[in-house]
Structure 1
Amino acid sequence: MNSAVQETLTSNLYDQQVKKLYHVGGILGLTEDVLQVLSTPERVIQVKIEIKGADGKVKTFVGWRSQHNSALGPYKGGVRYHPDVTQDEVIALSMMMTWKNSLLQLPYGGGKGGIRVDPSKLTKEELEALSRRYVDALYKYIGSDIDIPAPDVNTNPQIMAWYLDEYIKITGKADFAVFTGKPIELGGLPARIYSTGLGVATIAKASAKKFLGGIEGATVIIQGFGNVGTYTAKFLQEMGAKIIGVSDSKGGVIDPNGIDVQKIIEIKESTGSVINYPSGKKVTNDELLISECDILIPAALENVINKFNAPKVKAKLIVEGANGPLTADADAIMKERGIPVVPDILANAGGVVGSYVEWANNKMGEIMSEEEARKLIIQRMENAFEGVYQKYNKLGDQDLRTAAMAISIERVVNAMKARGML
């Protein structure tokens, strides 16, 4: 997306999510006061993090944790490290986690965290100090029955290990369930590393069966080739789909004859980018999004499909691997064009299902194997999709996002009423 287009997209992610909430709220007949409650987080914590850099100078960063809604259980959601993180973005993502956890019938509310930092510019020692100071600032507000953080953009199992160690040092509680996405040696789940990609692939397969006649031979383009995009590509190829395009932050490649997924993964690992794949045509991310395919999976950042490029999208089906890749305007355009969009709160929920299994294992003593966890993730995703598809048909002239959010919001509202919160 060029800078001129980006500047024209004045609505941030929070505005987009509130717009979607009010749309669904109108269909459900929710009053303005209820919508105000649902669009406002229960708590937002801003923290200042100071660390001593490798050069001896003090570096200062700002971070947040948004705890959106706890009607269904403790807050749950990842922490991202990114130079463009804002408070509004973190609040919006925490709201999306509320809907996601509700939709998958997980015993959680929604939370999200972020630090405004470019981690690539920190040494390992600085990154560890930053991570530990974040926990120092937040430990009173997190816990396995309060708020359970996990990895997100630019965070990983090692960072969760630092979080856990710092939390135990400060509180004296050996509560390994307070963070998920941890290394296996610290109670992490082997399936967690690929659970989001497995979930996206499972939903792509289920939706392809409903809208395209099946996943076998379907051509797929994936924008974003980090953890989610990589595993999505691997699982979809195993399911019989044909991956014809992928991209990362440096650009992309399209090969109508099909891309060797394992080969391009190895090339990205060795050279730093998929653009060094020897076959096919080199394209920009903007070009990739509007290239011809059966299934388009935006698996990078938010707002990449908007009112400017949505009319040019040639995919027959869109599956949201990232959070908020389509703006509200793009949703409306896709609906008008008859292109189904499987929403993020359904499509990429495999990660939080994996986190749920890890959390439950830590709570109860490692009772589930990797194979059992994998089957549970697939089953939860398939069941959720079927529920959304039935709601979609029942609502009539509405899209899949509206159907998914209607189910989620109804559950949250009913729980709040039962508890006397509304």
Structure 2
Amino acid sequence: MSASSSSSPAGHPSTIFDSSPTYRMACEQLFGVAEIMGTDPDIISRLAIPKRSLVMAVPIRMDSGDVRTFVGYRVQHSLTSGASKGGLRYAPHVDLGEVAALSMWMSWKVGIMNLPFSGAKGGIACDPTKLSRGELERLTRRYTEEVLPIIGPRIDVMAPDMGTDEQTMAWIMDTYSMKIGYACPEIVTGKPVELGGCVGRREATGRGVVYCIMEAMGELGLQPDQSTAVVQGFGNVGSVVCQELYQRGVKIIAIGDRFGSIKNAKGIDIPDLVKYVASGKQVKDFPGADRIEDNELLAIPCTILAPCAMERVITKDNAGKVNCRILAEGANGPTTPEADRIFANSDIFVIPDVLCNAGGVTVSYFEWVQDLQQYFWDEDQVNAKLRELMLKAFRRVRAFSKERNIPMRLAALSLGVNKVALEKAKRGLFP
């Protein structure tokens, strides 16, 4: 479907984002909410097109001495609810439509969590694994220079995402601070603790996923020590999900990342795997499990399936093979609308991405508040507050799902979209 197809509101124009299947997917979700909630179509049309999009050339000098120009993006979906907030990803596949979709999902995510932010996202089309540390630093600093006109602690606050990390955020903070003449830690979140970062921020997304999983297991009457899990992705999110579930007695029977997948029906020793990967080795080579084909991973029977890597990995082609009781979406947009329709006829309990992986932006909010106040919390405080807000949001979404007799994803999206729509209606249209 395109933004001007029959799934779109009448009169919705074609846009520069429409070539992206991820953007079309985000719009289809938005229009689905509009249909059941009766949201003002004029506001929906505003929400379907990002408020501000910047596409830029990012030229840097490579270690070889040659100059290479990358393409960078920053999309601010909305500025209605507060400073726009969202990650910065470095990946070869990054394009404008993908970034626009991710910024839209972030708007709904912060709405569900009731945070004083709007949604944004950024990216550079590159392969960070093929760049040296010096090249990554020059790329990050030049990108920051290019987005300076549209970022600021009360305007747009970045955070790490795929292919970026604490060091990336430190370079952004330093570049911005040098431009304004004083240290400004609140310009980014997810930075090193030594520079005003928040303890527990790196683990926050994975911990939030597990808080939601445990709540769902309680509702379904499932016991952790009698449950199994399959996790796709072993980065910041997937590795933490594995560790947190392992600590609670859940048996992790399969794990995969972009390099390969492994399985051990008796359970993978997660502490050993973490040490193995930290030593510079790959998940696929871990001696404590057997290699399997990547396309087998999502079809392994398990209690919990947690896709924590890429968007659009569960589609109409493989959704019928998914054999889990709980689908916990640690990644953004891992399940397509076509797959959702297949799940509607199953007993799979879906914890949708805009709720399930909201732990990261929630602790980013904690970090931003601490930087503004120059008053810092300890990790117990951070984790306790994260758990409180995640469970409050989960229960609110679950109650709305039962009240309206609608799927969890539609319930979560409805709460997020309607919060932003109400704020736009209250503020009015200027001029």
Structure 1 residue 34, shift from structure 2 partner: 2.3
Gaps of 5+ in 2: 1-18
Residue 32 of structure 1 corresponds to which residue in structure 2? 41
Aligned residue number for residue 410 of structure 1:
418
Find the partner of 2:355 among 343, 346, 369: 346
Q: For residue 293 of structure 1, give the secondary structure of its aligned residue in structure 2.
A: coil
Alignment gaps of 5+ in structure 1: 1-9
Residue of structure 2 equivalent to 1:193 = 202
Tell me what 1:297 maps to: 306
Question: SS state of the match for residue 163, structure 2?
Answer: coil
Q: Secondary structure at the match of 1:24?
A: helix
Match of 1:7 in 2: none
TM-score (norm 2): 0.93
In structure 1, the partner of 2:14 is none
SS at match of 2:55: strand
Q: Which residue of 1 aligns with 2:11?
A: none
Q: Quick check: 1:372 aligned with 2:372?
A: no
Does 2:337 match 1:328? yes
Aligned CA-pair RMSD: 1.4
1:18-417 aligned at under 5 Å gives the runs 18-396=27-405, 398-417=406-425
1:45 Cα deviation from its structure 2 partner:
0.7
- The CA distance in 2 between the partners of 1:394 and 1:240, in whole Å, is 33
Report the secondary structure of 2:344's partner residue: helix
CA distance in structure 1 between the partners assigned to 2:361 and 2:150 by the alignment:
20
For the 8 Å contact 1:17–1:92, the answer to whether it is kept is: yes
Q: Secondary structure at the match of 2:345?
A: helix
Aligned counterpart, 1:5 = none
Identity of aligned residues (%): 38
TM-score, L = length of structure 1: 0.95
> Is 13-22 or 412-421 further displaced after alignment?
412-421
Report the residue type matching 2:231 in the other structure.
I
SS state at 2:226 partner: coil
Q: Deviations over 1:330-380 (max 9, x none)?
A: 111111223121111111111111111110000001232221011111111
Distance (Å, rounded) in 1 between the aligned partners of 2:124 and 2:362: 24
Q: How much does 1:31 deviate?
A: 3.9
8 Å contact 2:93–2:125 — kept in the other structure? yes
How many pairs align? 412
Cα deviations across residues 201-252 of structure 1 (Å, max 9, x unaligned)?
A: 1111111222353434211100111110111111111222221111111211
Residues 312-321 or 276-285, more deviating? 276-285
- SS of alignment partner, residue 336 of structure 1: coil
For 1:405, the aligned partner's letter is: L
Q: Is the 8 A contact 2:362 2:386 kept in 1?
A: yes
Q: Equivalents in 1 of 2:138, 2:208: separation in Å?
A: 33
Alpha-carbon contact 2:20-2:98 (below 8 Å) kept: no
Q: Is the 8 A contact 1:268 1:274 kept in 2?
A: yes
